[in-house]
Protein backbone atom coordinates (compact mmCIF):
# COMPACT_ATOMS: atom_id res chain seq x y z
CA UNK A 1 0.00 0.00 0.00
CA UNK A 2 2.74 2.45 0.96
CA UNK A 3 4.31 2.03 -2.45
CA UNK A 4 1.11 3.12 -4.15
CA UNK A 5 0.28 5.98 -1.82
CA UNK A 6 2.40 9.12 -1.69
CA UNK A 7 5.15 8.64 0.86
CA UNK A 8 4.38 11.95 2.55
CA UNK A 9 0.71 10.96 3.08
CA UNK A 10 1.62 7.49 4.24
CA UNK A 11 4.07 9.01 6.74
CA UNK A 12 1.20 11.10 8.18
CA UNK A 13 -1.16 8.09 8.25
CA UNK A 14 1.19 5.85 10.23
CA UNK A 15 2.87 8.55 12.38
CA UNK A 16 2.84 7.88 16.09
CA UNK A 17 0.99 10.43 18.22
CA UNK A 18 3.46 13.27 18.68
CA UNK A 19 3.71 16.72 20.18
CA UNK A 20 2.67 18.42 16.93
CA UNK A 21 -0.68 16.59 17.07
CA UNK A 22 -1.41 18.20 20.43
CA UNK A 23 -0.30 21.67 19.32
CA UNK A 24 -2.60 21.32 16.28
CA UNK A 25 -5.50 20.37 18.59
CA UNK A 26 -4.87 23.44 20.79
CA UNK A 27 -4.43 25.85 17.85
CA UNK A 28 -7.51 24.61 16.00
CA UNK A 29 -9.43 24.04 19.24
CA UNK A 30 -8.99 27.61 20.49
CA UNK A 31 -11.10 28.75 17.57
CA UNK A 32 -13.89 26.47 18.79
CA UNK A 33 -13.40 27.62 22.36
CA UNK A 34 -14.05 31.17 21.13
CA UNK A 35 -16.92 30.04 18.88
CA UNK A 36 -18.77 28.36 21.73
CA UNK A 37 -18.10 31.22 24.15
CA UNK A 38 -19.40 33.79 21.68
CA UNK A 39 -22.42 31.87 20.44
CA UNK A 40 -23.67 30.81 23.86
CA UNK A 41 -22.78 33.80 26.04
CA UNK A 42 -25.49 35.84 24.30
CA UNK A 43 -28.16 33.63 25.88
CA UNK A 44 -26.90 34.70 29.32
CA UNK A 45 -27.29 38.42 28.71
CA UNK A 46 -30.57 38.65 26.71
CA UNK A 47 -32.69 39.04 29.87
CA UNK A 48 -30.33 41.80 31.07
CA UNK A 49 -30.63 43.64 27.73
CA UNK A 50 -34.42 43.49 28.11
CA UNK A 51 -34.26 45.05 31.58
CA UNK A 52 -31.88 47.82 30.55
CA UNK A 53 -33.35 48.85 27.20
CA UNK A 54 -37.00 47.75 27.26
CA UNK A 55 -38.18 48.70 30.76
CA UNK A 56 -41.90 49.55 30.89
CA UNK A 57 -42.94 51.89 33.75
CA UNK A 58 -45.58 50.36 36.01
CA UNK A 59 -45.18 46.83 34.60
CA UNK A 60 -45.35 44.01 37.21
CA UNK A 61 -42.55 42.15 35.34
CA UNK A 62 -39.10 43.41 34.26
CA UNK A 63 -38.66 44.48 30.62
CA UNK A 64 -37.90 41.77 28.07
CA UNK A 65 -36.67 42.01 24.49
CA UNK A 66 -39.56 42.23 22.00
CA UNK A 67 -39.94 39.00 19.94
CA UNK A 68 -38.37 40.39 16.76
CA UNK A 69 -35.39 41.90 18.63
CA UNK A 70 -34.89 38.73 20.67
CA UNK A 71 -34.94 36.61 17.51
CA UNK A 72 -32.43 38.96 15.83
CA UNK A 73 -30.02 39.10 18.79
CA UNK A 74 -30.11 35.33 19.34
CA UNK A 75 -30.13 34.32 15.69
CA UNK A 76 -28.07 36.83 13.74
CA UNK A 77 -24.75 35.17 14.65
CA UNK A 78 -26.16 31.84 13.43
CA UNK A 79 -27.05 33.45 10.06
CA UNK A 80 -23.51 34.83 9.84
CA UNK A 81 -22.07 31.42 10.72
CA UNK A 82 -24.06 29.75 7.94
CA UNK A 83 -22.76 32.25 5.36
CA UNK A 84 -19.19 31.94 6.69
CA UNK A 85 -19.22 28.13 6.53
CA UNK A 86 -20.18 28.16 2.85
CA UNK A 87 -17.83 30.99 1.87
CA UNK A 88 -14.71 30.01 3.81
CA UNK A 89 -15.29 26.30 3.11
CA UNK A 90 -15.11 27.06 -0.60
CA UNK A 91 -12.19 29.46 -0.12
CA UNK A 92 -10.25 26.86 1.90
CA UNK A 93 -10.26 24.55 -1.13
CA UNK A 94 -9.41 27.35 -3.56
CA UNK A 95 -6.60 29.17 -1.72
CA UNK A 96 -5.45 26.59 0.82
CA UNK A 97 -6.38 25.97 4.43
CA UNK A 98 -3.64 28.03 6.02
CA UNK A 99 -4.11 31.26 4.04
CA UNK A 100 -7.75 31.54 5.04
CA UNK A 101 -7.23 30.36 8.64
CA UNK A 102 -5.69 33.59 9.98
CA UNK A 103 -8.38 35.66 8.29
CA UNK A 104 -11.25 33.93 10.13
CA UNK A 105 -9.48 34.42 13.46
CA UNK A 106 -8.89 38.15 12.92
CA UNK A 107 -12.55 38.59 12.01
CA UNK A 108 -13.61 36.78 15.21
CA UNK A 109 -11.33 38.94 17.41
CA UNK A 110 -12.35 42.27 15.91
CA UNK A 111 -16.09 41.53 15.94
CA UNK A 112 -16.02 40.13 19.50
CA UNK A 113 -14.65 43.44 20.71
CA UNK A 114 -16.91 45.50 18.46
CA UNK A 115 -20.09 43.70 19.56
CA UNK A 116 -19.53 45.11 23.05
CA UNK A 117 -19.38 48.67 21.69
CA UNK A 118 -22.44 50.51 20.47
CA UNK A 119 -23.17 53.63 18.45
CA UNK A 120 -25.70 55.80 20.31
CA UNK A 121 -27.71 55.14 23.47
CA UNK A 122 -31.16 54.46 22.03
CA UNK A 123 -32.37 50.84 22.27
CA UNK A 124 -32.69 50.68 18.48
CA UNK A 125 -29.13 51.83 17.76
CA UNK A 126 -27.62 49.60 20.50
CA UNK A 127 -29.42 46.51 19.17
CA UNK A 128 -28.64 47.36 15.54
CA UNK A 129 -24.90 47.70 16.32
CA UNK A 130 -24.93 44.50 18.38
CA UNK A 131 -26.66 42.56 15.59
CA UNK A 132 -24.38 43.98 12.87
CA UNK A 133 -21.16 42.94 14.61
CA UNK A 134 -22.57 39.61 15.77
CA UNK A 135 -23.40 38.76 12.16
CA UNK A 136 -19.77 39.29 11.13
CA UNK A 137 -18.56 37.53 14.27
CA UNK A 138 -20.68 34.56 13.14
CA UNK A 139 -19.19 34.87 9.64
CA UNK A 140 -15.68 34.41 11.08
CA UNK A 141 -16.83 31.58 13.36
CA UNK A 142 -18.41 29.88 10.32
CA UNK A 143 -15.04 29.77 8.56
CA UNK A 144 -13.52 28.02 11.54
CA UNK A 145 -15.75 24.94 11.18
CA UNK A 146 -14.61 23.58 7.80
CA UNK A 147 -11.02 24.83 8.16
CA UNK A 148 -10.32 23.45 11.66
CA UNK A 149 -11.91 20.09 10.86
CA UNK A 150 -10.07 19.76 7.55
CA UNK A 151 -6.70 20.83 8.93
CA UNK A 152 -6.96 18.39 11.84
CA UNK A 153 -8.11 15.47 9.67
CA UNK A 154 -5.28 16.11 7.18
CA UNK A 155 -2.64 16.31 9.92
CA UNK A 156 -3.81 13.28 11.90
CA UNK A 157 -2.82 9.62 11.62
CA UNK A 158 -5.26 6.86 10.65
CA UNK A 159 -5.44 5.27 14.05
CA UNK A 160 -6.45 8.25 16.18
CA UNK A 161 -7.83 10.70 13.58
CA UNK A 162 -11.39 10.56 14.96
CA UNK A 163 -10.21 11.37 18.49
CA UNK A 164 -8.10 14.32 17.28
CA UNK A 165 -10.91 15.92 15.23
CA UNK A 166 -13.37 15.29 18.09
CA UNK A 167 -10.90 16.86 20.56
CA UNK A 168 -10.83 20.06 18.48
CA UNK A 169 -14.63 20.12 18.58
CA UNK A 170 -14.68 19.25 22.30
CA UNK A 171 -13.00 22.57 23.06
CA UNK A 172 -16.52 23.95 22.55
CA UNK A 173 -17.44 22.41 25.89
CA UNK A 174 -14.71 24.41 27.62
CA UNK A 175 -15.84 27.54 25.76
CA UNK A 176 -19.40 27.15 27.08
CA UNK A 177 -18.00 26.47 30.56
CA UNK A 178 -15.69 29.49 30.42
CA UNK A 179 -18.57 31.71 29.29
CA UNK A 180 -20.67 30.55 32.23
CA UNK A 181 -17.90 30.88 34.82
CA UNK A 182 -16.86 34.32 33.58
CA UNK A 183 -20.48 35.55 33.67
CA UNK A 184 -20.78 34.23 37.26
CA UNK A 185 -17.61 36.08 38.31
CA UNK A 186 -18.54 39.38 36.64
CA UNK A 187 -22.15 39.37 37.90
CA UNK A 188 -21.03 38.45 41.47
CA UNK A 189 -18.45 41.24 41.46
CA UNK A 190 -20.95 43.85 40.23
CA UNK A 191 -23.64 42.66 42.62
CA UNK A 192 -21.26 42.86 45.58
CA UNK A 193 -19.95 46.30 44.59
CA UNK A 194 -23.27 47.91 43.55
CA UNK A 195 -26.08 46.74 45.81
CA UNK A 196 -29.57 46.90 44.28
CA UNK A 197 -33.07 45.90 45.46
CA UNK A 198 -35.26 43.30 43.71
CA UNK A 199 -37.52 44.46 40.85
CA UNK A 200 -40.70 44.08 42.94
CA UNK A 201 -39.24 46.40 45.62
CA UNK A 202 -37.91 49.11 43.28
CA UNK A 203 -38.45 48.59 39.51
CA UNK A 204 -36.07 51.39 38.47
CA UNK A 205 -33.40 50.89 41.16
CA UNK A 206 -33.18 47.11 40.52
CA UNK A 207 -31.29 47.78 37.26
CA UNK A 208 -28.12 49.66 38.24
CA UNK A 209 -26.59 51.98 35.58
CA UNK A 210 -23.38 49.88 35.76
CA UNK A 211 -25.32 46.82 34.53
CA UNK A 212 -24.74 48.17 31.03
CA UNK A 213 -21.05 47.29 31.45
CA UNK A 214 -21.80 43.70 32.49
CA UNK A 215 -23.06 42.44 29.12
CA UNK A 216 -20.41 44.42 27.21
CA UNK A 217 -17.55 42.94 29.25
CA UNK A 218 -18.95 39.39 28.90
CA UNK A 219 -19.18 39.74 25.10
CA UNK A 220 -15.81 41.43 24.58
CA UNK A 221 -13.74 38.93 26.57
CA UNK A 222 -14.56 36.38 23.83
CA UNK A 223 -11.73 37.93 21.78
CA UNK A 224 -8.97 36.93 24.23
CA UNK A 225 -8.46 33.20 23.50
CA UNK A 226 -8.51 33.84 19.74
CA UNK A 227 -5.86 36.58 19.99
CA UNK A 228 -3.59 34.26 22.00
CA UNK A 229 -3.45 31.63 19.24
CA UNK A 230 -3.12 33.97 16.23
CA UNK A 231 0.69 33.77 16.10
CA UNK A 232 0.68 29.96 16.21
CA UNK A 233 -1.94 29.75 13.48
CA UNK A 234 0.26 31.78 11.18
CA UNK A 235 3.27 29.53 11.92
CA UNK A 236 1.49 26.27 10.99
CA UNK A 237 2.56 24.89 7.59
CA UNK A 238 -0.10 24.17 4.96
CA UNK A 239 -1.38 20.58 5.20
CA UNK A 240 0.53 18.08 3.04
CA UNK A 241 -2.68 16.76 1.52
CA UNK A 242 -3.61 20.18 0.19
CA UNK A 243 -0.08 20.95 -1.01
CA UNK A 244 0.38 17.57 -2.72
CA UNK A 245 -3.10 16.61 -3.95
CA UNK A 246 -4.62 20.04 -4.69
CA UNK A 247 -1.71 22.44 -5.26
CA UNK A 248 0.28 19.53 -6.84
CA UNK A 249 3.52 20.61 -5.18
CA UNK A 250 5.06 17.37 -3.90
CA UNK A 251 8.40 18.99 -3.04
CA UNK A 252 6.83 21.58 -0.72
CA UNK A 253 4.60 18.95 0.93
CA UNK A 254 7.58 16.66 1.59
CA UNK A 255 9.68 19.53 2.94
CA UNK A 256 6.90 20.81 5.27
CA UNK A 257 6.12 17.39 6.70
CA UNK A 258 9.81 16.45 7.08
CA UNK A 259 10.09 19.35 9.53
CA UNK A 260 6.84 18.48 11.34
CA UNK A 261 7.41 14.73 11.57
CA UNK A 262 11.20 15.03 11.86
CA UNK A 263 11.85 12.30 9.28
CA UNK A 264 13.23 12.33 5.73
CA UNK A 265 10.51 12.16 3.08
CA UNK A 266 11.05 11.92 -0.67
CA UNK A 267 9.25 14.36 -2.94
CA UNK A 268 7.37 12.28 -5.52
CA UNK A 269 6.30 14.86 -8.10
CA UNK A 270 5.72 12.25 -10.80
CA UNK A 271 3.32 10.28 -8.63
CA UNK A 272 1.40 13.48 -7.76
CA UNK A 273 0.92 14.15 -11.47
CA UNK A 274 -0.25 10.56 -12.07
CA UNK A 275 -2.87 10.89 -9.30
CA UNK A 276 -4.06 14.19 -10.80
CA UNK A 277 -4.68 12.51 -14.18
CA UNK A 278 -6.91 9.78 -12.76
CA UNK A 279 -10.69 10.26 -13.00
CA UNK A 280 -10.86 10.31 -9.18
CA UNK A 281 -8.47 13.27 -9.16
CA UNK A 282 -10.41 15.67 -11.35
CA UNK A 283 -14.22 15.65 -11.00
CA UNK A 284 -15.91 18.74 -9.55
CA UNK A 285 -18.61 19.26 -6.93
CA UNK A 286 -21.46 19.60 -9.42
CA UNK A 287 -20.39 16.70 -11.65
CA UNK A 288 -22.27 13.46 -12.24
CA UNK A 289 -19.20 11.58 -10.97
CA UNK A 290 -19.39 13.39 -7.61
CA UNK A 291 -23.09 12.59 -7.37
CA UNK A 292 -22.38 8.91 -8.09
CA UNK A 293 -19.50 8.59 -5.63
CA UNK A 294 -20.46 10.99 -2.84
CA UNK A 295 -24.02 12.22 -3.44
CA UNK A 296 -25.60 10.02 -0.75
CA UNK A 297 -22.70 10.73 1.61
CA UNK A 298 -23.30 14.48 1.30
CA UNK A 299 -27.05 13.97 1.80
CA UNK A 300 -26.24 11.89 4.92
CA UNK A 301 -23.85 14.46 6.45
CA UNK A 302 -26.10 17.46 5.68
CA UNK A 303 -29.40 15.88 6.82
CA UNK A 304 -28.06 14.44 10.10
CA UNK A 305 -26.34 17.73 11.04
CA UNK A 306 -29.50 19.68 10.10
CA UNK A 307 -31.75 17.49 12.27
CA UNK A 308 -29.33 17.38 15.18
CA UNK A 309 -28.97 21.16 15.34
CA UNK A 310 -32.74 21.74 15.37
CA UNK A 311 -32.85 19.80 18.64
CA UNK A 312 -29.49 20.95 20.00
CA UNK A 313 -29.88 24.70 19.56
CA UNK A 314 -33.52 24.88 20.55
CA UNK A 315 -32.48 23.33 23.88
CA UNK A 316 -29.30 25.27 24.36
CA UNK A 317 -30.37 28.78 23.53
CA UNK A 318 -33.59 28.47 25.49
CA UNK A 319 -32.56 26.37 28.45
CA UNK A 320 -33.00 29.45 30.66
CA UNK A 321 -36.74 29.35 29.84
CA UNK A 322 -36.90 25.67 30.77
CA UNK A 323 -35.05 26.38 34.04
CA UNK A 324 -37.56 29.11 34.86
CA UNK A 325 -40.49 26.83 34.00
CA UNK A 326 -39.32 24.17 36.47
CA UNK A 327 -38.35 26.72 39.11
CA UNK A 328 -34.54 26.49 38.98
CA UNK A 329 -34.41 30.21 38.33
CA UNK A 330 -36.77 32.22 40.58
CA UNK A 331 -39.34 34.64 39.06
CA UNK A 332 -37.59 37.64 37.47
CA UNK A 333 -39.35 40.19 39.69
CA UNK A 334 -37.76 38.67 42.84
CA UNK A 335 -34.22 39.51 41.63
CA UNK A 336 -32.32 42.56 40.53
CA UNK A 337 -30.85 42.70 37.00
CA UNK A 338 -27.32 41.49 37.84
CA UNK A 339 -28.57 38.68 40.11
CA UNK A 340 -30.61 37.34 37.18
CA UNK A 341 -27.47 37.09 35.01
CA UNK A 342 -25.78 35.24 37.89
CA UNK A 343 -28.65 32.73 38.25
CA UNK A 344 -28.89 31.98 34.50
CA UNK A 345 -25.10 31.65 34.20
CA UNK A 346 -24.98 29.33 37.21
CA UNK A 347 -27.65 27.02 35.78
CA UNK A 348 -25.93 26.90 32.36
CA UNK A 349 -22.55 26.20 33.94
CA UNK A 350 -23.95 23.32 36.01
CA UNK A 351 -25.46 21.72 32.89
CA UNK A 352 -22.18 22.21 30.99
CA UNK A 353 -20.10 20.78 33.82
CA UNK A 354 -22.29 17.75 34.42
CA UNK A 355 -23.31 16.75 30.90
CA UNK A 356 -21.94 18.85 28.03
CA UNK A 357 -18.20 18.62 28.75
CA UNK A 358 -18.16 14.90 29.77
CA UNK A 359 -20.17 14.01 26.65
CA UNK A 360 -17.57 15.55 24.33
CA UNK A 361 -14.68 13.73 25.99
CA UNK A 362 -16.49 10.38 25.98
CA UNK A 363 -16.59 10.78 22.20
CA UNK A 364 -12.87 11.59 22.08
CA UNK A 365 -12.07 8.50 24.16
CA UNK A 366 -14.30 6.04 22.26
CA UNK A 367 -14.69 7.25 18.66
CA UNK A 368 -11.75 5.23 17.31
CA UNK A 369 -12.92 2.11 19.15
CA UNK A 370 -16.68 2.19 18.63
CA UNK A 371 -16.60 4.00 15.30
CA UNK A 372 -18.48 7.09 14.14
CA UNK A 373 -21.60 5.25 12.98
CA UNK A 374 -22.26 3.45 16.28
CA UNK A 375 -21.78 6.61 18.38
CA UNK A 376 -24.09 8.67 16.15
CA UNK A 377 -26.79 6.00 16.12
CA UNK A 378 -26.62 5.54 19.89
CA UNK A 379 -26.70 9.32 20.47
CA UNK A 380 -29.78 9.93 18.31
CA UNK A 381 -31.54 6.93 19.84
CA UNK A 382 -30.94 8.05 23.44
CA UNK A 383 -31.88 11.68 22.65
CA UNK A 384 -35.18 10.45 21.18
CA UNK A 385 -35.87 8.32 24.28
CA UNK A 386 -35.08 11.13 26.74
CA UNK A 387 -37.09 13.74 24.82
CA UNK A 388 -40.20 11.55 24.94
CA UNK A 389 -39.49 10.68 28.58
CA UNK A 390 -39.47 14.41 29.39
CA UNK A 391 -42.45 15.28 27.21
CA UNK A 392 -45.07 12.62 27.87
CA UNK A 393 -45.23 12.97 31.70
CA UNK A 394 -44.30 16.71 31.48
CA UNK A 395 -46.78 17.77 34.18
CA UNK A 396 -45.18 15.26 36.55
CA UNK A 397 -41.77 16.94 36.07
CA UNK A 398 -43.06 20.43 36.87
CA UNK A 399 -43.99 19.49 40.46
CA UNK A 400 -41.43 20.93 42.90
CA UNK A 401 -40.53 17.45 44.26
CA UNK A 402 -39.58 16.15 40.78
CA UNK A 403 -37.47 19.05 39.55
CA UNK A 404 -34.13 17.37 40.16
CA UNK A 405 -35.31 14.38 38.11
CA UNK A 406 -36.21 16.71 35.25
CA UNK A 407 -32.78 18.34 35.30
CA UNK A 408 -31.05 14.93 35.36
CA UNK A 409 -33.06 13.75 32.33
CA UNK A 410 -32.45 17.06 30.57
CA UNK A 411 -28.70 16.76 31.27
CA UNK A 412 -28.69 13.24 29.83
CA UNK A 413 -30.14 14.45 26.51
CA UNK A 414 -27.20 16.87 26.36
CA UNK A 415 -24.73 14.18 27.31
CA UNK A 416 -25.92 11.95 24.47
CA UNK A 417 -25.96 14.84 22.01
CA UNK A 418 -22.27 15.40 22.67
CA UNK A 419 -21.40 11.73 23.11
CA UNK A 420 -23.21 11.24 19.84
CA UNK A 421 -24.22 13.22 16.76
CA UNK A 422 -23.02 16.66 17.88
CA UNK A 423 -19.43 15.41 17.68
CA UNK A 424 -19.72 12.82 14.88
CA UNK A 425 -21.52 15.13 12.44
CA UNK A 426 -18.46 17.39 12.72
CA UNK A 427 -15.89 14.60 12.34
CA UNK A 428 -17.25 12.58 9.40
CA UNK A 429 -17.49 15.27 6.67
CA UNK A 430 -13.78 16.01 7.22
CA UNK A 431 -12.89 12.39 6.38
CA UNK A 432 -15.01 11.09 3.51
CA UNK A 433 -14.63 13.63 0.66
CA UNK A 434 -11.69 14.21 -1.76
CA UNK A 435 -8.99 16.69 -0.66
CA UNK A 436 -9.87 19.30 -3.29
CA UNK A 437 -13.54 19.34 -2.16
CA UNK A 438 -13.09 18.44 1.51
CA UNK A 439 -13.33 21.93 2.99
CA UNK A 440 -16.25 22.86 0.70
CA UNK A 441 -18.24 19.71 1.55
CA UNK A 442 -17.59 20.18 5.25
CA UNK A 443 -18.75 23.79 4.91
CA UNK A 444 -21.96 22.68 3.14
CA UNK A 445 -22.65 20.06 5.84
CA UNK A 446 -21.97 22.56 8.63
CA UNK A 447 -24.12 25.23 6.96
CA UNK A 448 -26.95 22.73 6.74
CA UNK A 449 -26.50 22.22 10.49
CA UNK A 450 -26.66 25.97 11.11
CA UNK A 451 -29.86 26.11 9.06
CA UNK A 452 -31.23 23.55 11.53
CA UNK A 453 -29.96 25.72 14.38
CA UNK A 454 -31.84 28.72 12.96
CA UNK A 455 -35.01 26.62 12.61
CA UNK A 456 -34.54 25.32 16.17
CA UNK A 457 -33.71 28.68 17.71
CA UNK A 458 -36.41 30.76 15.97
CA UNK A 459 -39.03 28.01 15.81
CA UNK A 460 -38.69 27.12 19.48
CA UNK A 461 -38.95 30.77 20.51
CA UNK A 462 -42.53 30.78 19.23
CA UNK A 463 -43.43 27.09 19.64
CA UNK A 464 -42.62 26.87 23.35
CA UNK A 465 -44.92 29.76 24.27
CA UNK A 466 -47.78 28.86 26.59
CA UNK A 467 -51.07 27.74 25.00
CA UNK A 468 -52.87 30.18 27.30
CA UNK A 469 -52.53 33.71 25.85
CA UNK A 470 -52.45 35.25 29.35
CA UNK A 471 -49.38 33.17 30.27
CA UNK A 472 -47.43 33.69 27.01
CA UNK A 473 -44.56 36.22 27.03
CA UNK A 474 -45.45 39.79 26.08
CA UNK A 475 -45.69 40.30 22.32
CA UNK A 476 -45.61 36.60 21.42
CA UNK A 477 -48.48 34.67 19.82
CA UNK A 478 -49.85 31.57 21.56
CA UNK A 479 -47.52 28.56 21.11
CA UNK A 480 -47.92 24.81 21.55
CA UNK A 481 -46.27 24.83 24.98
CA UNK A 482 -43.03 23.26 26.21
CA UNK A 483 -44.48 19.74 26.38
CA UNK A 484 -45.56 19.59 22.74
CA UNK A 485 -42.31 21.26 21.68
CA UNK A 486 -40.38 18.45 23.37
CA UNK A 487 -42.49 15.87 21.46
CA UNK A 488 -41.61 17.62 18.17
CA UNK A 489 -37.90 17.49 19.13
CA UNK A 490 -38.23 13.77 19.90
CA UNK A 491 -39.55 13.16 16.36
CA UNK A 492 -36.70 15.25 14.89
CA UNK A 493 -34.13 13.11 16.75
CA UNK A 494 -35.75 9.92 15.45
CA UNK A 495 -35.46 11.20 11.85
CA UNK A 496 -31.77 11.90 12.54
CA UNK A 497 -31.36 8.27 13.57
CA UNK A 498 -32.82 7.12 10.22
CA UNK A 499 -30.62 9.42 8.09
CA UNK A 500 -27.51 8.18 9.93
CA UNK A 501 -27.69 5.05 7.75
CA UNK A 502 -26.54 7.12 4.73
CA UNK A 503 -23.20 7.97 6.37
CA UNK A 504 -20.22 5.61 5.78
CA UNK A 505 -17.87 4.41 8.54
CA UNK A 506 -14.38 5.91 8.26
CA UNK A 507 -12.75 4.35 11.34
CA UNK A 508 -9.18 3.20 10.72
CA UNK A 509 -9.14 4.06 7.00
CA UNK A 510 -6.89 6.58 5.28
CA UNK A 511 -8.50 9.74 3.90
CA UNK A 512 -7.53 8.71 0.35
CA UNK A 513 -9.16 5.32 0.79
CA UNK A 514 -12.40 6.97 1.93
CA UNK A 515 -12.45 9.52 -0.88
CA UNK A 516 -11.35 7.13 -3.62
CA UNK A 517 -8.29 9.23 -4.46
CA UNK A 518 -6.20 6.05 -4.36
CA UNK A 519 -8.63 4.64 -6.93
CA UNK A 520 -9.54 1.35 -5.23
CA UNK A 521 -10.55 -1.32 -7.73
CA UNK A 522 -14.19 -2.42 -7.54
CA UNK A 523 -14.75 -5.33 -5.21
CA UNK A 524 -11.17 -5.15 -3.98
CA UNK A 525 -10.71 -4.14 -0.36
CA UNK A 526 -7.05 -3.17 -0.78
CA UNK A 527 -5.50 0.21 -1.51
CA UNK A 528 -3.81 -1.14 -4.65
CA UNK A 529 -4.39 0.89 -7.78
CA UNK A 530 -5.28 -0.92 -10.98
CA UNK A 531 -2.16 -1.45 -13.05
Window from 238-242, 412-416, 448-452, 505-509 with minimum mean pLDDT: 412-416
- Residue in 190, 236, 181, 242 with CA at minimum distance from that of residue 213: 190
Question: Do residues 222 and 246 touch, judged by C-beta distance below 8 A?
Answer: no
What mean pLDDT do residues 94-110 have? 92
Exposed/middle/buried for residue 487 (C-beta within 10 Å: 0-12, 13-18, 19+) = middle
What residue spans of 279-332 are helical by DSSP H? 288-317, 319-325
What does the alpha-carbon distance between residue 25 and residue 288 come to, in Å, rounded to a whole number? 36
* pLDDT for the residue 354: 79
Exposed/middle/buried for residue 279 (C-beta within 10 Å: 0-12, 13-18, 19+) = exposed
Within 10 angstroms of residue 280's Cβ, the number of other Cβ atoms is 18
Question: Do residues 483 and 391 touch, judged by C-beta distance below 8 A?
Answer: yes
* pLDDT for the residue 528: 38
Return the domain boundaries, the chain.
18-273+285-515
Give the number of C-alpha atoms closer than 13 A to the C-alpha of residue 126, restricted to the C-beta side.
15
**pLDDT for 418-453, tens place per residue?**
999 999 999 999 999 999 999 999 999 999 999 999
* pLDDT for the residue 294: 94
* Rounded-to-10 torsion of CA 105, 30, 383, 325: -80
Is-above-0.75 flag for pTM? Answer: yes
- Choice between 527 and 461, residue whose per-residue pLDDT is larger: 461
Give backbone dihedrals phi and psi of 431, rounded to 5 degrees, phi first.
Answer: -115, -25
- Residue in 164, 257, 279 with CA at minimum distance from that of residue 520: 279
Question: Do residues 226 and 171 touch, judged by C-beta distance below 8 A?
Answer: no
> Does residue 308 have a pLDDT over 80?
yes
Question: Do residues 341 and 46 touch, judged by C-beta distance below 8 A?
Answer: no
CATH topology for the 18-273+285-515 domain: Growth Hormone; Chain: A; (1.20.1250)
Q: How far apart are the first and last CA of the chain?
A: 13
* pLDDT for the residue 438: 96
Q: Which range, 110-119, 322-331, 492-501, is most confident? A: 492-501
What does the alpha-carbon distance between residue 220 and residue 525 come to, in Å, rounded to a whole number? 52
489-493, long-range: CB < 8 A, 24+ apart: 489/310, 489/311, 489/314, 489/315, 489/387, 490/384, 490/387, 490/388, 490/391, 492/307, 492/310, 492/311, 493/307, 493/308, 493/311, 493/380, 493/383, 493/384, 493/387
Window from 165-179, 284-298, 450-464, 466-480 with minimum mean pLDDT: 466-480
* pLDDT confidence tier of residue 127, bands split at 50, 70 and 90: very high
What does the alpha-carbon distance between residue 68 and residue 116 come to, in Å, rounded to a whole number? 20
Give backbone dihedrals phi and psi of 63, rounded to 5 degrees, phi first.
Answer: -65, 145
What angle is formed at CA 444 by the lines to CA 68 and CA 275, rounded to 5 degrees? 165
Amino acid sequence: MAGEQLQVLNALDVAKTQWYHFTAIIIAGMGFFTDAYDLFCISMVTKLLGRIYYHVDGSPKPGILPPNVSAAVNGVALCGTLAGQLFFGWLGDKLGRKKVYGLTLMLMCLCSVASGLSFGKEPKSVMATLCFFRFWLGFGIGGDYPLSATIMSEYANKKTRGAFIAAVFAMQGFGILAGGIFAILISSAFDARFKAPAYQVDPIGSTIPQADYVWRIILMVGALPAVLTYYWRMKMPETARYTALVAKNAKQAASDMSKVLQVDIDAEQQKVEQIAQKPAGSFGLFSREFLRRHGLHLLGTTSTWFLLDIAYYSQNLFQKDIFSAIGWIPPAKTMNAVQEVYRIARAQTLIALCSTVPGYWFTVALIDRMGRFAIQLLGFFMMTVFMFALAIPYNHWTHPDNRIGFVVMYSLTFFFANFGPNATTFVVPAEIFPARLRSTCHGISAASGKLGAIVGAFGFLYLAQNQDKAKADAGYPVGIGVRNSLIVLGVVNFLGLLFTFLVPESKGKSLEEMSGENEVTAGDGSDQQPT
